């Protein structure tokens, strides 16, 4: 991450809010993935469709995040999210979790850095 730390209270609040929300949405995606993995062949087809639409929504959220967090690492997150959407559509589902975990970790790091800024500034 090249510019992950906020420099104003406003940036810190927006970064924390975005990263924490994304982390929650990614955890939901992870739970949905596990549910789809447990489905039988015919059911899994429908489950994949729902998962793909959820991943597309997450892609749009990442695009919005790029406007809030000026960090090139979010370009990588967006690229990975696009790849995961393709994998959910027709690829190996069992390889998605590792990448979701990386994105969750990245969002957690953003949230922690924003929280640290707010604590250091005695705003919390």
Distance CA 17, CA 65 (A): 10
- 96 half-sphere exposure, CB direction, 13 A CA radius: 28
Q: Residue 4: which of 76, 57, 54 has the closest Cα?
A: 76
Q: Residue 51: which of 87, 99, 103 has the closest Cα?
A: 87
pLDDT tens, residue by residue, 72-105: 889 999 999 999 999 999 888 999 999 999 999 9
Reported confidence tier of residue 16, pLDDT bands at 50, 70, 90: very high
CATH classification for the domain delimited by 9-120, as one of 1.20.272, 1.10.3470, 3.30.390, 1.20.120: 1.20.120
Domain ranges of the chain: 9-120
Distance CA 115, CA 5 (A): 10
Give yes or no for residue 1 having a pLDDT over 70. no
Q: Is pLDDT larger for residue 104 or for residue 123?
A: 104
Distance CA 110, CA 115 (A): 9
- Within 8 A by CB and 6+ apart from 45, the residues are none
Q: Which residue has the tokens 């959407």?
A: 85
């Amino acid at each position: 991450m090249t510019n992950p730390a906020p420099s104003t209270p406003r940036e810190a609040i927006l970064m924390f809010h975005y990263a924490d929300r994304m982390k929650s949405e990614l955890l939901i995606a992870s739970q949905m993935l596990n549910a789809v993995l447990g489905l039988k062949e015919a059911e899994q087809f429908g489950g994949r469709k729902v998962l793909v639409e959820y991943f597309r929504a997450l892609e749009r959220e990442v695009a919005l995040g790029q406007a809030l967090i000026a960090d090139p690492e979010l370009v990588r997150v967006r690229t990975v999210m696009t790849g995961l959407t393709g994998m959910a559509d027709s690829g190996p589902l069992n390889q998605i979790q590792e990448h979701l975990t990386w994105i969750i970790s990245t969002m957690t790091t953003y949230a922690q850095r924003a929280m640290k800024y707010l604590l250091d500034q005695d705003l919390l």
